[in-house]
Amino acid sequence: MKTNLPTWDLTHLYSSIKAVELKDDLSTAKELAQNFAKAYQGKLATLDGKGFAASLEAYEQMEDILGRVISYAQLQYSSDNTDAAIGQFYQNMQEEITDLSSLILFYTLEINKLEDEVLEGFFKEEAAAKYRPWVMDVRVHRPYQLSEEMERLLHEKSVSGKRAWNRLFDETMAGLRFPLQGKEVTISDVLDKMSSKEGAERKEAAKSFGGVLGENIRLFSLITNTLAKDKATEDQWRGLERPISSRNLSNLVEDEVVDALIGSVKDSYGDLAHRYYGFKAKWFGVDKLDYWDRNAPLPEDDDRKIEWSEAKDTVLTAYNAFDGEMAQIGQRFFDENWIDVPPRAGKDSGAFAHPVTPSAHPYILLNYHGKVRDVMTLAHELGHGVHQVLAADQGPLMADTPLTLAETASVFGEMLTFRSMLDKESDEKRRRIMLAGKVEDMLNTVVRQVAFCDFERQVHDERKKGELTPDRLGEIWMSVQTESLGPAFRYEDEYKHFWAYIPHFIHSPFYVYAYAFGDCLVNSLYDVFQNGHEGFQGKYRDMLAAGGSKRHKELLAPFGLDASDPDFWKRGLNVVSGFIDDLEDVI
């Protein structure tokens, strides 16, 4: 595979980490924040509708500047978090932004102190009413808000608290090297080898991966215990009884809706993961699969490498067949260097699409190794990117989408690409391989992520009673993995350490269920599309363009869908089950 893979151009934001324009933006933001505090702190209740609208517009202007600065720092850091100068810059920017945002922290706290009738009076002014969705989302946290002094203390200490532990995790993980085939390789490279065509390579990679994690397990356990205790303390002060509730509030989704999703997926473990991996063991001619065979290509898969140019054309063609406007937006990521593709030492090992801020544009990070899964990852992240571009017109306060809905466009992009590739494939063997690959991706997105969520639930619940030992963390991990993946697997001792590399546990507790939410939602949505729903493409674009200005009930209503209906989740899971049925017919 060619090595001249494209990298992103961050000079669209600032020319360098020492850029004069970056320092100017920080200076401007500081002046704006100081003036904002003088004008509005302690005075919101005395404003009229026009005054409140002006305050919202001024607040949004500051958020845009601060978002641009911290996004640039985050993107630089994700490019190479082993570079000391970049690490120093990232930390300094976090501290700068925290100090500046502390000056305006009062604003959302005071919004939550306003009486409902006062707000309704403000919203009679059209310029203020525009921001109603954002204001009401802020007020979701009203019952759990602490005093202004306490909120400011938590905010300012986050730099030396949980964010410092996040950084320790990132830099430790990026610095790890794994012995493989006589070399010391990065985490991205060793994970790639765990889906190799060769069983011996998968085994060596898995053993090396688990072994190195085991050598560092005390540190990863300390990080996990510390952050779980930190979260428990804050949740207790806020009056949140369940560890997952703070995530649900941020996602603007009701506890009972998430409970219904998780319950539906767990009830389907047997029909989905257990059944599929039982078939996979038969394809491999064994009674049980070794754990390193979970993502192994099927025996008849030629495991060919896909050139980057082919991957790009495949995804854009699929997008264009669905909607030309989405494809045009997607093309910009390639034409304007908004995407960073090659794996390299020090780079974040996964993939993401960063929205930056609406006045700029998103960026995508990949680690492309030329496998079908990498093509699907491109389709996934490009979906995020297109979503972020379409939602930008909502402005800095309302462009961001809750995590549950943020995964909609990404998973839908994957489905479009998969269906396009499947329709073009005439060889039945290749179609079967592609279908199996899609099932595995869906199991990784639905079953595996819900199992991750279950792991987090048990860890956070037990942490309230005291620190968990590395062995106990490993026991919980093995329990949820065995329950979710089923009896088709054989595990070895080092697998108990695999929980330690999941970054979402560290950065965003309970983020993981959003993947399952998005996959099941998209399965239901795609089912509506396949059934010829009139005007689907236009309604879909409108849904993405709404950003965070509408809740899931409003967004899904035009398609006749309701996520609060238990049958909604069954409908999505039935799509996965149907794919497995198709595979069963050809065994």
Over 70: is that where the pLDDT of 586 sits?
A: no
Is the pLDDT at 28 greater than 80? The verdict is yes
Per-residue pLDDT tens over the stretch 378-408: 999 999 999 999 999 999 999 998 887 888 9
Which neighbouring-strand residues pair with 183?
Answer: 180
What mean pLDDT comes out for the span 294-302?
A: 86
pTM, entire model: 0.84
Does CATH place domain 166-301+449-507 in 1.10.1370.20?
yes
pLDDT above 70 for 73: yes
Q: For residue 1, what pLDDT is reported?
A: 45
pLDDT single digits (tens) 222-271:
999 999 999 999 999 999 989 999 999 999 888 889 999 999 999 999 99
What would the 3-class secondary structure string for 268-319 be? CCHHHHHHHHHHHHHHCCCCCEEHHHCCCCCCCCCCCCCCHHHHHHHHHHHH
Predicted pLDDT of residue 272 = 97
* Percent of the chain topping pLDDT 70: 99
Sheet with 339-340, strands from edge to edge, namely 339-340, 363-365, 352-354
DSSP state of 349: S
CA distance 36 to 330: 38
- Where does the pLDDT of residue 298 fall: very low under 50, low under 70, confident under 90, or very high at 90 and above? confident
User: What are the tokens at 562?
Assistant: 């309701």
Highest mean pLDDT among 303-307, 373-377, 461-465: 461-465
State pLDDT tens for residues 541-560. 999 999 999 988 899 999 99
Length of the chain measured in residues: 587
Q: Is residue 473 a contact partner of residue 463, using CB atoms and an 8 Å limit? A: no
Report the pLDDT value the prediction gives residue 372, as an integer from 0 to 100.
86
Give the number of C-alpha atoms closer than 13 A to the C-alpha of residue 201, restricted to the C-beta side: 14
pLDDT at 145: 94
Confidence tier at 371 by pLDDT (50, 70, 90): confident
Average pLDDT taken over every residue of the chain: 94
Residue 200: Cβ-neighbour burial (10 angstroms; 0-12, 13-18, 19+) = exposed
- DSSP summary character for residue 115: -
Query: In this model, does residue 566 exceed pLDDT 80?
Result: no
pLDDT digits (tens, 9 = 90+) for 81-103: 889 999 999 999 999 999 999 99
| Termini Cα distance of the chain | 32
The reply to whether 166-301+449-507 and 308-444+534-566 are identical in fold is yes
Rounded CA gap, 459 and 69, in Å? 35
- Among 46-55, 279-288, 398-407, the minimum mean pLDDT is found in 398-407
Find the mean pLDDT for residues 185-196: 93
pLDDT in the model for residue 498: 98
> Quick check: 428 pLDDT over 50?
yes
pLDDT at 229: 97
Long-range own/partner contacts, residues 172-179 (CB < 8 A, 24 or more apart)? 172/216, 172/219, 172/220, 173/349, 173/501, 173/503, 174/81, 174/82, 174/346, 174/347, 174/348, 174/349, 175/82, 176/212, 176/216, 177/212, 178/205, 178/208, 178/209, 178/212, 179/208, 179/212
Alpha-helix residue ranges (DSSP H) falling in 447-565:
447-463, 470-485, 503-507, 513-530, 536-545, 552-556
At residue 406, the pLDDT reads 87
Query: In the CATH scheme, what is the code of domain 308-444+534-566?
Result: 1.10.1370.40
Give the pLDDT mean for 511-515.
92
What mean pLDDT is predicted for residues 521-545?
93
Q: How much is the average pLDDT of 215-224?
A: 98
pLDDT 10s digits, 455-488: 999 999 999 999 999 999 999 999 999 999 999 9
pLDDT band at 587 (very low <50, low <70, confident <90, very high): low
Instruction: Give domain limits for the chain.
Output: 10-160, 166-301+449-507, 308-444+534-566
pLDDT at 497 over 50: yes
What is the reported pLDDT for 349? 83
| Tokens 């978090």 sit on residue | 81
Considering the domain 10-160 in this protein, what is its CATH number? 1.20.140.70
pLDDT band per the 50, 70, 90 thresholds, residue 2: very low
Helix ranges, 363-427 (H): 372-391, 403-424
